[in-house]
Structure 1
Amino acid sequence: MFAFSALVLLIWTSHFFIILSPHLSIRFINNIETRNQTMISEFILLGISDDQELQPLIFSLFLIMYLVTVFGNLLIILAVSFDSNLHNPMYFFLSNLSFTDICVSTTTIPKMLVNIQTQNHSITYKGCINQIFFIIVLFCFENFILAVMAYDRYAAICHPLRYTVIMNSYLCGLLILLSLFISMMNALIHSLMVLHLSFCTDVEIPQFFCELTQVLNISCSNTLTNNILIYVLGGLLAGIPISGIIFSYTRIVSSVLRISTAKGKYKAFSTCGSHLSIVSLFYGTSLGVYFSSPFTSSPKKAAAASVMYIVFPQMINPFIYSLRNKDIKVSLKKLIGKMRCFL
């Protein structure tokens, strides 16, 4: 239910932003007196490689990854929706995570596939701004969902008798909507700040999508304020969830170690295994690309490395839960059985 509410909010914001962005950009840029600068209508996405012989291979690989991502995450959402045994906070948050993963891939990969197929690597100014907006929204939202899932595991293991009272449906819905609202406000700030920038003749972005930092690099304007906002808001909105995850698992480990039986310890830890794997994948790939980028001299290598956080985790997440979680396995078998009967 709330996954579809999130979808409606995202679509509404998208239409609002599409309508608003041209007017805001004209207003901002008209207030800046600059010379030798032009109003641009599009950017050029250079992609992962400019080797024409590799384009069919890149197209095929990304198409397969996109289909696997959408199909895998959609199966998780359907399994949670149709199996009453999975109607609890843990799987409610998982379905929202799967929905977010589908949106992340849909925001970036289809445009890349179209560019390769048409051999036209341009993206409109409006399209680039909207892509920046949605990428920031979705990554920030996923960051919060992972923290909320950690809190859910903390409540289930450390306060099992009060779990249903703590993680009631009202709180679960509120946490999702509040996370989505904060993510949207964060993305709106960064997107409006990009509208304030001017661009010269160099409009080539060494990426396969409009990445905020890459767009700032090709701007003619002073981007100091933009970079400060990236570090301040990024540090704040990433630091708080990471701190929450660390706190939750510190308390979880402390509680589990007090369990006397080995079977009880294993059962408690097993409920956290899938979530810990996704957390490690999400932050590991993101931080790995972030810290390695200053040492990567080739823009093409940096673009290829970005696949590790913009494509790979979203594709792997359904496999992590379907392979490590017994309830999801059972539910998926039931769902696939029903689909076969229907077909």
Structure 2
Amino acid sequence: MKYLLLAYLLISSAVANAYNQQALVEAYFSVVMIRGYNLDGGMAYGSGVVVGDNTVVTNCHVLRATKQPWVSRGEDSYPITEVRADAWHDLCMVTTHNMPFKPVLRGHSGDLARGQEITAIGHSNGVPAPITSVGEIQGLYPTPGGNMIRSSAKFLMGASGSGLFDMEGRLVGINTFKTAGSGGSVHFALPVEWLDTLEKMPASTEFPVRGKALWEEDEDKKPFYMRAAVPESRQDWPALQKVSQLWTVQDPNSADAWFSLGLALLSLKQLEPAASAFDKAVNLDKQFIEAWFRRGDVAQQQGDQKMVQQIETQLQQIDPTLVPIYQAYLGCDQHCQK
């Protein structure tokens, strides 16, 4: 199976200058660590983002194991005095004092688009300096108040509660949960708009913070985009096919649902139904680049060079820089003619 990751990295490098360097530097310095001792004496840690004077947002699951958490930056620490907690949405806003860090600018998850370049900034693996990871928006899933975000910007343990930023340095999401498997991790961020409600919640001084998060719900009660992520990351194609078929029945107007089904069918070498699924995906979202690439893969395997070239023409209209990447992805010569 050929993967689009390398192609997407090429796309990212081509647009590497399309960012606000100063704003991203300021965003970098607004990401902090959240630390505290576990009940057994070990260290619990996560990440947070400064969103107001002496105010940091993080994931509530970061605060489950410690009674006395604090904010840290290098050797400096700032005791947390209170918390506003929304355990179900896994967002906690903590308050400290005498913290000199500047709040981030906020964007809107509703302004994002599939394929848009973004960056995750957090303390992956508990390292003292934040780590940045550039990626693209892979999916946007409407929820009350904003869009849940799936991105290819990686984050590791310790980066829960870190920031997902657009290339203008605006906070658009809070990196929260991911799946893992041989096919690679799938990363999700909560919409920044949820902070508006969180700021209005009553404050508490009780730690640890308790409560189940939405991503910890029973599997059959989760939204389909979460249910599909697990078998996709594990490359369990029969399971992904089953979930995706249910998804397309429940939401036949979801391009993501049809793409997910197409991915499963393509991986199972069921080329005709895979082609149909990808066709539905691109008909619903003409800018769905990965769906176009996958559809081209199906066409090439079927020996349908006319369709391969039609897709190349479509990509030329979307963005001419995609054409050589598409050709390289299919492993063919100019105009994908063998």
Q: Normalising TM by the smaller chain, what interval? A: under 0.3
Q: TM-score, normalised by structure 2?
A: 0.25
Which structure carries more helix by proportion?
1
Larger RCO: 1 or 2 (CA < 8 Å, sep 6+): 1
Which structure carries more strand by proportion?
2
